[in-house]
Amino acid sequence: MNITVIGATGMVGARLVTEANARGHRVTAAARRPGSYPRGGTIAPLALDARDPEQLAAALHGTHGAILAVRPAPGHEHTLAPLTTGVLDAAARAGIRLVVIGGAGPLRSPGEPDRLVAEDPTYVPPAWRAVAAASTDQLRACERHAEAAWSYLSPPALLEPGRRTGTYVRGTTTLLVGPDGTSRITAEDLAVAALDELERPGTDRHFTINEVAVCR
C-alpha cells in the first residue's frame, strides 16, 4: 500500500512511519518539518501544512490510506477539530480510509458509563484537561462527517515510548484497564494497532487498546 502519515515526526507519527515501512508499505512522511530519510528508500518526506486543502490533496493523491497523528501545541487545542475536519474532507475526496490517532478523552470511564475520561480526574489531571477536551471535540468532528471512511483510535490513559511487543487488547468506547489497574500502551504497539486497522478495518469506528497483561 501507499500510505500517508500526517504528523510523521511526532512521538506516535515517527513510530507509525517505522511500522508501515517495516510492513513493506511505501510511506509519505508528512509534517511541517519532515526531516530526511535515506535516498532510494520507501519513505518519502513531505513538507505539509495540514490546514491547506491544496497541500492535503497533493499529499493524499495516489495513496491507499492515511493516518492522522497530530497533537496541538498548548494553547492551540481549539485548532484540532477543524484541522481534522479538513483532513477528513481531503480523504473523502481522495476516496481513501483515514485512521485518526486521537485521545483517551472521549472514552467512557471504567465503571462509570455516564462519565467521559476527559471529565475524570483519576485519569486526566488538570494539566491535560484542555487536550482531553480537544480530543473529544475531534471525535465529534469525525462523527459529523458523513462522507469519509474513518476510524478513531483512542489510546489508553498512558501512552509513552517503549518496546514493540506486537500485541495489544482491543476494546470499544470504554477505557480499558488491566488486572493490575493499569491503562497503558507503548507508542510502538499503538502503531501496530493503527496499521492493523488501516490494513484490516474492524467493525467499530471508535475503538481503544491496552497492553496485554503481563506479570510485572
pLDDT attached to residue 75: 93
Residue 180 lies in a domain: yes
CATH, residue 184: 3.40.50.720
- Which pLDDT tens digit goes with each residue over 96-153? 999 999 999 999 999 898 999 999 998 988 888 999 999 999 999 999 998 999 999 9
Instruction: Report the predicted TM-score, pTM, of the whole model to 2 decimal places.
Output: 0.94
Is it the case that residue 214 has pLDDT exceeding 80? Answer: no
Is residue 216 situated within a structural domain?
A: no
3-state secondary structure at position 24: coil
Task: Tell me if 133 is assigned to some domain.
Answer: yes
Q: Which domain holds residue 170?
A: 2-210
In a domain? residue 131: yes
The kind and range of the H/E element at 150 are strand 149-154
Domains identified in the chain, total number: 1
Looking at the domain assignment, is residue 160 inside a domain? Answer: yes
121 backbone dihedrals φ, ψ, rounded to 5°: -65, -15
Domain-located, residue 114: yes
Residue with cell 467512557: 108
In a domain, 78, yes or no: yes
Question: pLDDT tens digits, residue range 40-89?
Answer: 679 999 999 999 999 999 999 999 999 999 999 899 999 999 999 999 99
Which of 17-21, 81-85, 123-127, 196-200 has the lowest average pLDDT?
123-127
**CA-based torsion, 100, 53, 94, 145: positive or negative:** positive
Please report how many Cα atoms fall inside a 13 Å half-sphere around the Cα of residue 85, on the Cβ side.
12
